Amino acid sequence: MKQSLAYYIILLVIKLKGIKRDFSKVPIDFKKIRKEDVKLPNDRFFKKHILKTFKVSESLITEIGCVEKADKLLIFIHGGAFISGPTQHHWDTIKEIAKRTNYTIWMCDYPKAPENQIAKISENIDAIYSKALKNYQPNHIAIIGDSVGGTLATALTQRLKINKIELPAKLILVSPVMDASMSNPAIDSFEKLDPMLSRAGVLSAKKMCAGTMDLKDPMISPLYGDFEGFPETILFLSQNDIMYSDTKLAELKMKNANVNLEVIEGKNMPHIWPFLPVMKEAQDSLKEIIRRINTI
């Protein structure tokens, strides 16, 4: 399939911004990357539709909604290599979802590495879900996560199963990072194709987040956890992404575990392509995400 003109424009913007260069540095310059963070948007839509902000443990939750007293919740766990975020593309995605669904949305700004490690971050994600269960029925909760947000959403679900806690109705995983060890030899071939990420910088960020924990611990690498009994899962894969090969392994494990799984592959697409602005391919995939959210 021929790519849109906007696809090539986005690739040029990514190159000019030096994103791959930033993700090639060891140690990764997390302070520079954080300059793109948008902790609270101030445009007209959000001024009108941010319902409230509140803390859960050490996480800031921004509650957004266009429907008064909605009985459905979307927990949005943003990516950012554990060291940064949320950024503008996360808020833009939330805006579109809020406009076109009858959900309340929780943007979860959780603690970041290197100041915090994965155990504390995971405790925060667990606390957020526990808070959600106090206000919503589990069959009315969906979770969406991009990149390491997908890591956190997947690992959360594995812990919920272990602890026999009711699961959300649906997971939507957008270019999730499934193996923090970055040890898959197939990554080398995708390094040349990926316009955004490099193994060196990503691995540096993961080591900052893991601390003394084994990088293959399921808390930070859910590929090594159990997928039995998972809820309905929609998996968006990016073909020009160093995470692709690990995500394909996770896809296989989910299929072997008989997960109700739908896989959508972005041909020639970069990491988290459904959330990239302007691009027609992103707009089309976001429409697909919204359609699936609306099936709960």
CB distance 84 to 37 below 8 Å = yes
Q: Are 64 and 80 contacting, i.e. CB atoms less than 8 angstroms apart?
A: no
Q: Which helix (DSSP H) or strand (DSSP E) does residue 95 occupy?
A: helix 88-100
Number of domains in the chain: 1
Under the banding of pLDDT at 50, 70 and 90, the label for residue 1 is low
Q: Do the beta carbons of residue 83 and residue 205 sit within 8 Å?
A: yes
152 phi and psi angles, rounded to 5 deg: -65, -40
Per cent of the chain over pLDDT 90 is 97
Number of residues written out for the chain: 296
Structural domain of 77: 5-293
Look up residue 290 and give its DSSP letter: H
Per-residue pLDDT of 130-148, as tens digits, reads: 999 999 999 999 999 999 9
Could you read off the pLDDT of 183-219 as tens digits, one per residue?
Answer: 999 999 999 999 999 999 999 999 999 999 999 999 9
Q: What is the CATH number of the domain that holds 54?
A: 3.40.50.1820
The pLDDT score that the predictor gives to residue 176 is 98
- Band of residue 2 on the pLDDT scale cut at 50, 70, 90: confident
- At 77, the pLDDT band (50, 70, 90 cuts) reads very high
pLDDT, mean over the chain: 97
Residue type, 111: P
